[in-house]
Each structure stands twice: as C-alpha cells, then as structure tokens.
Structure 1
C-alpha cells in the first residue's frame, strides 16, 4: 500500500492535477526510505548523546570533588516538618542508620523521639522572625547544621482559586516556599564559609504539572523548584550540594482525604520509599534531582508539548478528579 501513497493521492483529488509520474511512485518511496533510515539513526544517536552522554559528563564534572560522608559523627542534620510523616521517618532513619552528631527537628507540632540525638524545636518556618530566633538558639546549643532537609509543607482546602480564603493562600506560600528562603538565610552562610554542606528540598510533581483545585499548593511547589534551581546556580563551584526531590502522591496525612482515582497508572508512594531515596542522596554526597515514582519523569516534559496534550494527560491520570474528591477535607500539615 505504501508505494501507492504519494503526493498525488493526497493532493490529486483537491487540485485534480498529477504531480508525480505514476511509474516513478515506487522509486520515490525507495529513495525516501534510504534517506530516512540514516536520518533516523542520526536522530537516535543525537538524542542519546544530548540527553544521555553529555548530562552524565557534566554531572561528573559538577560533582568532581564530591565525596560520600565518611564520618557522620561530624554532621548535624536539620529537618523542617520533622515531627510527623516523612520528616519524622527521616529523623529516625538517619539516627538509627548513621548516628550523626545531632538531628534537629523544626515543627509546630510537639513530638518525642526515642533517640536522644534528636532534638525538637518548636518553630513556624513560615515566620521569618521566629526562624531567625530559633536558628540563633540552634547554633548556640547544637552547632551549625551541615545538612538541611526542607521538608515542611501544607496544603489548603481543595477549592477553586476564587473560593480559597486569602489567609489560606498566604499560609501555603509562606510555609511551602518562603520558609526555604528563611532557612537558607539563617544557615547557608556557615555552609559557604566552611565550603561543606548538603541542602535537600522536597518539591512535588504538582510543581511541574499542576492540578485543578490546588492552585496555591501547585504554585508554591513550582516556586520551590525555582528557588532550588536558582540557589544551585549560586552554589556552582562550591562543595555545598543541592538535591531536589520530586515525589508523586505520598501516602501520608497531608492528602489523607483524597480518593486515588487510578493507582495502577500513578501509584502512591510509601513514605519509606521517599525516605530511602533522600538518605541515599545524602550518602552519595552529590547534587542531583530525584523523581519518584517513574511517571514523575514525564511531568516536566508536558511543558514542551501543546497544552491540549498536557490537559489530556491530567484528565487521563485523574489528577483533577482526585483534588475535586478532596474538596471537602480539612487541610493537613
């Protein structure tokens, strides 16, 4: 069938004119095949080089001085939002597995830990003045943090932009985004002074591919990604490492009111999976981006495609429907 599919079969009925001699039509397809096969190979190899080899070489060059942490007893870890969920599991896992010098947890929820190396400080990370005061206490009592895990995050009621109260929007932006700035301003200067440290930022797949009825949360996480990338550029050439984690839906209390529409397509993550990925990133000691699970790799690519395609993917994945189902649940932190 292919040899007979020529420019004539497409344009002929419209213009009622033959553009190609019918006896040369098969030759046209043979020549086209000879051209396209090498061309396809060139595209394939170019894609592998551009998206595989070159990033790998640049990654190795960027982290040429990176070294795994050999002596955790010299490391002080600070975790925001560490009293529950992912943050608490990170604190307990690091304490059990590596026993750093100290683990400092910042949260508005009081909590207790069985491990004496974990200290709790009450702090609303969205409040700049409180962060500054608590940071001074931490430096005085525990020392300067060498590892920071920006994990604190909240979500508002799943309402439309118009219906979301102004104070909820402001609160989400403060805790999810502005807190990143306040923590960095408090603790980053010493990291730069000693040329040693690692900052882990927990973003979200919704920062790359937003869903309906979660505009404030999506905007805050998109801002977190911008903050991380901007700070990473500032720290190029130093030994302060930057890791950003882009998880999908995590099975924690934050989205406990949500009914997952298509778990077979976008499976929810266990807290332990994200925890292990962050701990591994710290152990390796290199700047990197972590996407979990596999489908989250696709989210940033949607921005390069027509918006209709991205909208269709969101509908197919059930993201908009999930947030709509979450509409009448109380916000969680």
Structure 2
C-alpha cells in the first residue's frame, strides 16, 4: 500500500458523523433526518448555520438514501417517530458514502410452551461442522426428510461468524417452510473446567470441544429467531445421541434414505421438547411363543387418566391362576423404575 492510499484510509476511518435517535422527534432523529422518500438532512451547529440551505439551520444533501436490508422495519419506525440512530461514513475502497441505521428492538413477551409447540417443532442437533435438523409434528413423528446445514469453522473470527450466521439463516428458512414456530436445541454447557475434569486425558476430544461454538451458536440463534418470531426451546441433552441411535436410527432408515446418528439425535431432541418419551418399547415375540410374549407396542397418550394403572381384567373364566401379589405389582408400573417414566424403560 502506498503512503497516499494509507493516508486516505486513515482519514476515512476518522471521518464519520453519527447521532443517536430520539423518540417523539420527526422521523426519530433530530440531528440526522432521513425521510421516507430518501431525503437526508443534517442539522448544523450554531457556528455553521450560515452554510444551511434549508430552514431551521438544516443542510439537505443532494444524494438520496436507499435501505435494502430491513427497509420495512425502518419505514415503520420513522412513520411512528420512534428513535433511529444513523452513522454516515466513507468507504475508500469503493469510493462511496454509506448511511447505517440502527435501533433497539423492544422485548417481546415469550409465548407459552404449549403455544410455541402447537404446530410441531424443528429439532436441531448441533455438531462441530454442521447442524442436523428434522421437522417433527405434534405427536413426535418425523415429517419429510432430514436436513443438514454445514459450516466451516476454520479461518479467522469474521469467517467463522459468517459461517454460523449463514447456517442459522438456512435453518430459520427451513423452519419457516415447514410451518413450525419453535426450534428445539440441546442445553449444552461446555465450560473449560468441566471439560478438563471429565475428559482431561482425551486431548483429541478436548480439542474438538474447544472448537465447538456453543455460546456463539446459542446467542446467534436466539437473536435471529426473535426477528422471525420463532421460539427456541432448550432441552436436557442427557442420552439424546445414545437413545436416538438405539431407538430411531434403524426404524427411520429406508432403501432411499440413510439416517445418520445425528439425524436420530435430532428426533430424540424434538420428542423430548414435545414432552414425548424417547425410548420405544420393543415389539413382542410372535404369538406362537406365548410364554415369552411381551407388552404391547401401542402406548396410551400422556393425557389419558389412569394410563399407569393396572390393565382391566378380561371377563369370563381365567385359564391360568394369578400368583400372590401379582395384581399389586401390575398396578404400579413406576415402582420398579425410579429413573423415569414406565415407557422409558430399557427393553
């Protein structure tokens, strides 16, 4: 770079004009005003009022202003005279002047979990190089095909941040196409102290965890989803990958679709967000082996009263006797499994 080019860039970096917005003023800013038609005017200080070319000590620029990104939101704010901050700066590489508008979003009330999951959920399994997503309906069944949104975390900070934003943008577009109003993710917490304590001897895994942008992905997803009125549901990450691969990877694999372990984990995350159990009961043996026949695979709904009680006894004479205490054991299916729901028992 020549000395002249360096000096031009140095001066351009320090030649800017900025002004915070003011609610109640015309177009949301009294110092730098941009009207809906694109007219840009600046209110000059008292020492420069002799240079004004408009009433009330204002200077109107000949060039017009056009906003292409979030122009509808900016237009709504200036129409209601809500605060908008502007910054005017010069780009020496392109030889152009730019006007940047910014404002603060009001905190929107969070919807209830039942309202957010009324149209299903898009479950996401976060990995170090891609996002595995699958749309689930309200009953916890996968709909359509799984999707994968890759990103590359090599390079500088700006490159990694751009990759994350691009992957999350594609994820939000996918959620909009499916009609779901909620995204389910794992509540991961990879801190340095916990990682070294649990995986101190595995340097490869520690290096992998250090490259995983957990906090950045979560912060970006929450802020970007709020702009599109999409709720983010965080679930417990315990055993989602293991149970997903054990109970959902093989049933969801077809001759034309290869379900990966990450896709099955996304299904497990979505079912947990919807309040459904992850693990499935194994199919019973054939009827020719009645002595070893298991339970039925059909499970009662979560809102059916008495679903954990004893099954009704069939009417008529019984061909086999019931051992002592058998009826009491059958009436309490939770007694022998302290860790969770009876439907969550391992086969």
Length-normalised TM-score, structure 2: 0.28
Higher RCO, Cα 8 Å, sep 6+: 1
- Could you say which structure has the higher helix fraction? 1
Decide which structure has the larger Cα Rg and report it.
2
- Could you say which structure has the higher strand fraction? 2
